[in-house]
Structure 1
Amino acid sequence: MDFELQWLLIGLPVAFVLGWVASRLDQRQWRRDRRDAPRAYFEGLNLLLNEQQDKAIDAFIEAVQHDPDTTELHFALGNLFRRRGEFERSVRVHQHLLSRADLRPADHDRAQHALAQDFAKAGLFDRAEGAWRALLGSAYDSEARLALLSLFERSRDWAQAITTATELEQRDGSSFATRIAHYHCEQALDALAAGDPVLARRCIDEAIRTAPEAPRPPLLAGQFARDTGDDNAALAHWETLAANDPARFALVGADYADVARRLGRGDTARDVLDRAYAQAPLLDTLRARDRLDASPGTAEAPDAATPTEEGVGRRLRHLAAQPSLGAAAEVLAIDTARWHADTRPQLHAAVQRAAAPLQRYRCAACGFMAHHYFWQCPGCQGWDTFPPRPLEQQ
């Protein structure tokens, strides 16, 4: 009994000392591992700031190997791969994160968001759609819906685009009316291409109802009405467009003038075109106005190359008010005998104004532009990088 007690008294302190030594060794190893992981992390960060991405990736991989449970390192590594265009490796990193059972819900959504970005950047739009859909209802819900909307636009899936844009309106309170109207217009064009005018008309009407102030629906409605023989409806739609958006009305100004001449409504059309030009002085509107200068009984519109006296006056006034190369070209097409006394200096001023942005030298290395020639580029500090000729002479 005394012998066993003696060994017990000796063994207990020995066991305590051995346990204490083992714990100290474990703590030392733990501290070493903790010290090595931040060192590799900061080394990678320093390399990344110095734009040495290859070495930074190696450092981050080493840090992840030291501490596989560090999610932030995985995210940094995946983002680096994506920025370098190594989408397959980026996908593997983020899929590895998603496979972890101990991942917090916020980090899970973050990894899913990164994975969706990987697929989108890689051009894998079907897989990107699935990844974005997995984020619906999460903290990334709005961003996921916007990304899905972009995917539907890219794939020309207008029905899905309409549904998604409507949901975004209802959830976020933002207005997508004009965008939805574009989708209906695209559906109308697809229906016309498929030979279904009934569906096309329905889509155009829905576009007008969705966004009454948007310019594209009345423009398209006027073209559809003209093509189906309803000239009066065409004029009505285009006059609505002229009142709401005179600049875009110029896109169909010539068509409007031709239909108005055909119906004998030249006087009304002149007023509409004059008001549109006063609000948005564009050459297309000016040319459309010239088409109404012929007498009402004339079948064809006047030749743009030989405008009437009224047309000449409008062109000269346009050059004085809106000096541009387009206006100069219009005036140069007119016989010089019909010019005004100040037309020549106005032409010179218009050409000089248009040519001014091109009368500069551009560095062939970095694209820096200057009005004066430099032997050393102020932008990239390169020598002899400026061609000796300005842009307009290249």
Structure 2
Amino acid sequence: MDTWWLLAIPVIFGLGWIARGFDLKELLSESARLPRSYFNGLNFLLNEQPDRAIEAFIEVVKLDPETIELHFALGNLFRRRGEMERAIRLHRNLLERADLPVEFRDQALFALAQDYLRAGLLDRAESAFKSLADTPHADQAAGFLAEVYQLQSEWQLSIDALRRSGADTPTKSRTIAHLYCELAEAAIERKDLKDAREQLARARTADAALLRIVQIEIGIAAAEQAWARIVELADQTLAEHPEFAPQIVEAYIDAAQHVAFSAPGQRPLDAQLRSWFDASPNDALAAVIIKRLEAAGSMSAALEFARVALQRLPRLSQAHALLRLRATMQGDGDEDLAHITQMMNGMLRSQKRHECRNCGFRAQRFFWQCPGCKQWDTLPYAASPVGP
């Protein structure tokens, strides 16, 4: 047996070497058949020159219409560049080919559906993604279909599509929780508090850690004028998440003014606001504290707090607050100071201070869903403490 193995090993090695030679010849033969434009296109892609790569690939497609994979690559490049009309036309032409294999037909329909979505043709995108329900692209198509429904504010349909989109992930669960929150907010608007609570319970099941749930609970309590409940919810939440104060501080102050907030064992309102600011400095809390001090006639205290806030938040908004207070206390005596304050006010109105952690989109105000990448819970609750 040992002798046979010694003879077999060189034979197997020799056969492998011969097969390698055939494979190499076949590879060289296939490469020789490819137009030079194909390799030029690859080279342009590697050098991050997509415009020239597209031109080269278009030339290949003209010379060899059978290069189906290259059609898909070219369509994806068109979509990336935002040339949706060309991408749609290319993928439609593929679908119209009678000789196109089934697997490529499904792939072409999936690509065309993405083109429609990117172009804003939502009805066509919805129809195309639905047509992929029984194909290998079903899971991905359901995910895109959920995005279509979100753009149409069809929250329940989006939830149903997401549940069909494959394995559960933390991101998927959080998205579903946000969609239930959207349904709860709609129920509050039409004063159907029973439905609002049911939707909120579903959101909590999907992702109990979502802070938006607290905000909507406060909204329900406000509709019922349950002021003590609002104070309780805010105290519990901000003890662990002081960065969430900008989202609920106005409702908290309104509720606190309806209850005996200075009862034994309860912290005075202004002291509570200041403790939250100290724990997590942000523009919203600073503005509320300064406004309350001004309303109480404590201009010196407001000015002193503004100095502290500027040290904690070195940005244009706090510099403007400090200069505005100084201008108010000095009256009309300093025209230069008044002019600078007015100029800074105009600059603040155009500032975009909420930046998406996913795509970098910048917004002037807070959104639960990023307007740029359409992802949920990616904008910071408060504006960044580091200003321009």
With structure 2 as the length reference, what TM-score do the two structures score? 0.62
The amino acid of 1:95's aligned partner reads L
Could you list the runs of 5+ residues in structure 1 that have no partner in the other structure?
1-33, 294-301, 359-394
Give distance in 2, aligned partners of 1:81 and 1:178. Answer: 32
Give distance in 1, aligned partners of 2:31 and 2:286. Answer: 76
| TM alignment of 1:51-70, pairs within 5 A | 51-52=51-52, 56=56, 59-65=59-65, 68=66, 70=67
* In the alignment, structure 1 residue 243 sits paired with structure 2 residue 239: yes
With structure 1 as the length reference, what TM-score do the two structures score? 0.61
Tell me the equivalent position of 2:125.
Answer: 128
Q: Deviations over 1:223-266 (max 9, x none)?
A: 33123311112222322332343223223323312321321214
In the alignment, is the contact (CA less than 8 A) between 1:109 and 1:135 conserved in 2? yes
* In the alignment, structure 1 residue 317 sits paired with structure 2 residue 313: no
Give distance in 2, aligned partners of 1:57 and 1:259. Answer: 64
| TM alignment of 1:1-394, pairs within 5 A | 38-39=34-35, 42=38, 45=41, 51-52=51-52, 56=56, 59-65=59-65, 68=66, 70-76=67-73, 78-79=75-76, 82=79, 83=81, 84-85=83-84, 86-97=86-97, 99-100=98-99, 103=101, 105=103, 107-136=104-133, 139-168=136-165, 171-266=167-262, 267-268=266-267, 269-289=269-289, 303=295, 306-307=297-298, 309-335=300-326
Q: Deviations over 1:303-343 (max 9, x none)?
A: 27x4355444322222233222222222223348989xxxx
Give distance in 1, aligned partners of 2:35 and 2:57. Answer: 14
Give the CA deviation at 1:290: 5.3
The amino acid of 1:259's aligned partner reads A
Give distance in 1, aligned partners of 2:78 and 2:328. Answer: 69
Tell me the equivalent position of 2:9.
Answer: none
| Higher relative contact order structure (alpha carbons within 8 Å, sequence separation ≥ 6) | 2
3-state secondary structure, aligned to 2:150: helix
The amino acid of 1:100's aligned partner reads D
3-state secondary structure, aligned to 2:295: coil
Give distance in 1, aligned partners of 2:323 and 2:31. Answer: 78
In the alignment, is the contact (CA less than 8 A) between 2:37 and 2:59 conserved in 1? yes
- After superposition, the Cα gap between the structure-2 partners of 1:78 and 1:238, relative to the gap in structure 1 and judged at 3 Å, is same
Give distance in 1, aligned partners of 2:326 and 2:311. Answer: 17
Give distance in 2, aligned partners of 1:42 and 1:290. Answer: 65
3-state secondary structure, aligned to 1:262: coil
What is the number of equivalent residue pairs in this alignment?
297
In the alignment, is the contact (CA less than 8 A) between 1:319 and 1:327 conserved in 2? yes
The amino acid of 1:303's aligned partner reads A
Give the CA deviation at 1:160: 1.6
The amino acid of 2:239's aligned partner reads A
Could you list the runs of 5+ residues in structure 2 that have no partner in the other structure?
1-29, 331-336, 352-388
Q: Deviations over 1:128-162 (max 9, x none)?
A: 22333444565544432321221121111110222
Give distance in 2, aligned partners of 1:210 and 1:157. Answer: 18
State which drifts further: 156-165 or 232-241. Answer: 232-241
The amino acid of 1:278's aligned partner reads D
RMSD: 4.0
- After superposition, the Cα gap between the structure-2 partners of 1:216 and 1:81, relative to the gap in structure 1 and judged at 3 Å, is closer
Give the CA deviation at 1:125: 2.0
Larger radius of gyration, structure 1 or 2?
Answer: 1
Give the CA deviation at 1:61: 4.2
In the alignment, is the contact (CA less than 8 A) between 1:63 and 1:73 conserved in 2? no
